[in-house]
Amino acid sequence: MSFPHGSDLETTTRLSRHQGEAEARTLEGWRARGGYEALRRSLEMSPAEITEVVKASGLRGRGGAGFPTGLKWSFMPKDDGKPHYLCCNADESEPGAFKDREVIRWTPHLLIEGCLIASRAIGAEHAYIYVRGEFFEETQVLNAAVVEAYDNGLAGDGILGSSWSCDVTIHAGAGAYIAGEETGLMNSLMGNRAEPWAKPPFPAQAGAFGMPTTVNNVETLAAVPMILENGADWYRQWGSEESPGTKLWSCSGHLVRPGNYEFALGLPLSDIIFDACGGTPSGKPVKAVIPGGSSTAFLTGDELDCATTYEGLAEAGSALGTASPIVMDEDTDIVAAMRRIAQFYAHESCGQCVQCREGTSWVVRILQRIEAGDGRPADIDTLYELCEQMTGRTICVLADSVVFPLQSSLDKFRADYEARMKPTLVAAG
């Protein structure tokens, strides 16, 4: 079962409340659930008013970085005479994350509605939904929904009888993690290699096709209709001052009940892992958790009391990221797990920046050697130094994405690494 399900812990299913209902996929079923009412309301509002509501709600980007959504929208130039674009980032590729695909699969109209409202707020004439290439079924579902939307005056010219028009296009990606980085996504959308570009130019200045563009995550856009319908204060009843609202959680790893959940932000991480997901199937203690998808720092089993907010996890030395905890029990080989994570990033590096292209694969080769029992004590120093050299020096944060888990695993599980080192011969006498 992958759509959100109940648990011993109180879930707050708002965004995901219609997941699992087959009829919600159709326009008719969606309308029966109050669909497109928020869009209708948004047509009575000015773009600035929509942005204000989203700003006031405190909604933060759900793609991992947690940038305030309303603020991002307000960066878009006004009355500049250029076409504006919205890109919905549905290239969900972070290992551990599987929340966006469920939004698309069960509630495609929710996403389309969110895209349209966002497009209106930023003055976009075209919304592109960039769907991960491997999401074949999801692409089909979305395409069917877009056709329905066009057929019923919900997309295209004169939406809901108004004078406002906006096109919606589903773009199937070609399968690269880096196409989920916003500038990589836009390059891929334009038919180029999915290579991130050095900012500036920022997307709001010159994004897709050289025009002002906003890139938002699926979950972010899917949260917009309910915020517009119920108001910012309603949304702020959940979560903290800095991290309001509810959040989808993709829980995986050594769990009794892995899967998607929706919780109000701010619960202790341990509640999610033990109460909602039932702890480890083996009953053994949790050794480590990567809380926000594979690019965030490791937490040990003793560090799980932190609040699941952007600030709470940052305080704990990790990040909320995509809210996709990967749980590892006591028997987990941290070196092997880290090697596998590094391998993913080495494989997905686009190859532009030297630190990332050469660094990620060098890290993999060192970890492979350590894993094979051929490590040397100096390797740990080398790994630490590589972490330092790969941080903050590249166009995008893919290199940093290896560093966060690597550095934290070295800090917190150094003994695991040292246990794999080749015994050193000590000169006699």
**Which residues in this chain contact another protein in the complex, by CB under 8 A?**
176, 178, 193, 195, 197-198, 200, 346-355, 357-362, 365-366, 369, 378, 382, 389, 392-395
- Between 140 and 389, name the residue whose CB sits nearer to another protein: 389
Shortest gap between Cβ of 83 and another protein (angstroms)? 23
Shortest gap between Cβ of 357 and another protein (angstroms)? 5
Shortest gap between Cβ of 369 and another protein (angstroms)? 7
Shortest gap between Cβ of 406 and another protein (angstroms)? 16
Tokens linked to 136? 């074949």
Tokens linked to 37? 């009412």
Contacts with 351 (C-beta within 8 Å, 6 or more apart), sequence order: 357
- Between 162 and 368, name the residue whose CB sits nearer to another protein: 368
- Between 220 and 295, name the residue whose CB sits nearer to another protein: 295
Give the Cα separation of 186 and 396 in Å (integer).
14
Residue 428, Cβ density class (10 Å: 0-12 exposed, 13-18 middle, ≥19 buried): exposed
- Between 40 and 357, name the residue whose CB sits nearer to another protein: 357
- Between 169 and 368, name the residue whose CB sits nearer to another protein: 368
Shortest gap between Cβ of 294 and another protein (angstroms)? 16
Phi and psi, residue 42, nearest 5°: -65, -25
Contacts with 367 (C-beta within 8 Å, 6 or more apart), sequence order: 335, 338, 339, 342, 383
- Between 13 and 394, name the residue whose CB sits nearer to another protein: 394
Shortest gap between Cβ of 398 and another protein (angstroms)? 10
- Between 122 and 346, name the residue whose CB sits nearer to another protein: 346
Give the Cα separation of 218 and 104 in Å (integer).
8
Own/partner long-range contacts of 408-414 (Cβ < 8 Å, ≥24 apart): 408/297, 408/298, 408/299, 408/317, 408/318, 409/288, 409/298, 409/334, 409/337, 409/338, 410/380, 410/383, 410/384, 412/288, 412/298, 412/300, 413/288, 413/298, 413/300, 413/334, 414/380
Give the Cα separation of 52 and 39 in Å (integer).
16
Shortest gap between Cβ of 382 and another protein (angstroms)? 6
